[in-house]
């Protein structure tokens, strides 16, 4: 007797398909397609991300082995590697980029009140980029060096919920700081960056947009001290100063005063110097805020390890961007489901459980109970141990 929905179908029910269809119509995604729609393509690629498929042939073999269940998964078209490859090659990647932004907006609303370690009411972003290496002979359009190809994933991460608010995919040769040319600053928000984003003209435009930045200074920073603020050295602070830039071109690019905070990390025996245009926050909060920037490095590590964005199912620029944007959509979807169902799993555990229960017909909120039972069994005294 066919009762209940599969886990995969329950996950897909959290998708706003009406909004997805509007994205498809915006770019004529289903033009001249009668048997394999954009929704079929998205579901097949989502299945690949959730179950760690390695290739188009792998996707085809697994889905065809479950042919009787495809209809209940929402896949109406015939699944074949050539059809899926053609869809990834030709259908506009912006369909999936626009849809990912809709999911991101929904997720950020859900996580807007989450605590992220700092007592700040303002939105705090971490800005960074990660490079994904590619084979030059297969991806000549992404040429990076003489014998190397690659792409960069520029990401603005909302530290509340670890949701990517902005993503731009470029060839790896594009310098990180150039992302300021397309980034629209949000007034009143904080942008935390490493020293690779030092460009005083671009930082000044950020300042004029009424946004705040916290950035690690370069070792060759030359500034004239205007005023020194009192500090508590027992907290690790070494100085808190108002400065103006001394170099002629730097001062021309950023004509106003900056705040320089010097912090010593005794745990790692490291000195840090930060620059910011915010003069109201305590100096220690400035240092603590920069420490939170590390979460974007963890985000990059997580998606590279647990989603399919390092090996691709197609070699064209369109296919690569399509796969990355669908991977981002799946990451955000998992965060939305976890929040709405109030699950205690972290994202990693939730994704692992989903990967092995994708065809099961149980309520998705029961996965937490199933996982608890598995943990109870694994803690049994009869379980063999590798280390005593």
Residue 279, pLDDT score: 94
Cβ atoms of 123 and 160 within 8 Å: the answer is yes
Residue 35, pLDDT score: 86
Q: What is the mean pLDDT of the chain?
A: 89
DSSP 116-162: -SS---S-EEEEEEEEEEE-TTT-GGGEEETTEEEEEEEEEEETTTT
Is pLDDT above 90 for 103?
yes
- Per-residue confidence at 112, pLDDT binned at 50, 70, 90? confident
Beta bridge partner(s), residue 244? 224
Q: How far are the Cα atoms of 79, 80, 150, 316, 317 from residue 312, in angstroms, in the given order?
A: 18, 17, 12, 10, 11
Question: What are the sequence ranges of the domains in the chain?
Answer: 7-95+315-376, 195-282
Residue 372, pLDDT score: 52
Residue 186, pLDDT score: 93
Q: Are strands 124-134 and 190-193 parallel, antiparallel or unpaired?
A: parallel
Least confident stretch, 100-104, 126-130, 154-158, 367-371: 367-371
Q: DSSP code of 282?
A: -
Task: Report the alpha-carbon distance of residue 232 to residue 235 in Å, rounded.
Answer: 6
Cβ atoms of 84 and 44 within 8 Å: the answer is yes
Of the CA atoms within 13 Å of residue 142, those in its CB half-sphere come to 26
- Position of tokens 């064209």? 316
The structure tokens listed for 203 are: 């930082």
Is pLDDT above 70 for 140?
yes
Beta bridge partner(s), residue 261? 240, 274
Least confident stretch, 56-70, 140-154, 338-352: 338-352
Phi, then psi, of 168 in degrees rounded to 5: -135, 130
The structure tokens listed for 104 are: 């991101």
Residue 76, pLDDT score: 87
Each residue of 44-62: pLDDT tens digit? 999 999 999 989 999 999 9
Residue 352, pLDDT score: 85
Is pLDDT above 60 for 385?
no
Each residue of 210-252: pLDDT tens digit? 999 999 999 889 999 999 999 999 999 999 999 999 999 999 9
């Amino acid at each position: 007797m066919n009762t209940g929905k599969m886990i995969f179908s329950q996950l897909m029910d959290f998708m706003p398909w009406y909004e997805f269809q509007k994205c498809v119509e915006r770019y004529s995604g289903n033009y001249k397609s009668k048997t394999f729609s954009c929704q079929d393509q998205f579901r097949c690629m989502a299945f690949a991300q959730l179950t760690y498929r390695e290739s188009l042939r792998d996707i085809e073999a697994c889905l065809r082995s479950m042919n009787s269940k495809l209809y209940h998964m929402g896949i109406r078209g015939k699944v074949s590697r050539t059809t899926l490859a053609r869809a990834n090659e030709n259908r506009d990647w912006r369909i999936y980029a626009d849809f990912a932004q809709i999911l991101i907006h929904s997720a950020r609303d859900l996580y807007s009140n989450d605590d992220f370690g700092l007592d700040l009411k303002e939105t705090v972003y971490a800005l960074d980029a990660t490079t994904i290496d590619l084979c030059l002979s297969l991806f000549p359009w992404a040429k990076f060096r003489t014998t190397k190809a690659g792409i960069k994933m520029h990401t603005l991460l909302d530290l509340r919920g670890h949701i990517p608010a902005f993503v731009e995919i470029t060839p790896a040769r594009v310098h990180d700081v150039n992302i300021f040319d397309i980034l629209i600053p949000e007034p009143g928000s904080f942008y935390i960056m490493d020293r690779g984003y030092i460009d005083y003209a671009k930082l000044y435009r950020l300042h004029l947009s009424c946004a705040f930045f916290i950035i690690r200074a370069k070792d060759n920073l030359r500034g004239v001290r205007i005023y020194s603020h009192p500090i508590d050295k027992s907290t690790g602070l070494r100085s808190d100063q108002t400065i103006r830039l001394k170099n002629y071109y730097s001062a021309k690019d950023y004509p106003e005063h900056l705040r320089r905070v010097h912090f010593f990390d005794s745990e790692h025996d490291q000195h840090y110097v930060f620059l910011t245009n915010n003069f109201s926050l305590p100096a220690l909060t400035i240092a603590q805020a920069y420490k939170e920037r590390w979460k974007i490095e963890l985000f990059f590590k997580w998606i590279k390890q647990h989603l399919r964005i390092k090996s691709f199912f197609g070699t064209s620029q369109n296919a690569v961007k399509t796969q990355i944007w669908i991977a981002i959509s799946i990451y955000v979807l998992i965060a939305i489901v976890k929040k709405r169902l109030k699950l205690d799993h972290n994202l990693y555990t939730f994704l692992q459980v989903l990967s092995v229960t994708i065809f099961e017909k149980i309520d998705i909120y029961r996965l937490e109970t199933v996982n608890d039972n598995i943990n109870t069994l694994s803690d049994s005294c009869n379980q063999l141990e590798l280390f005593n």
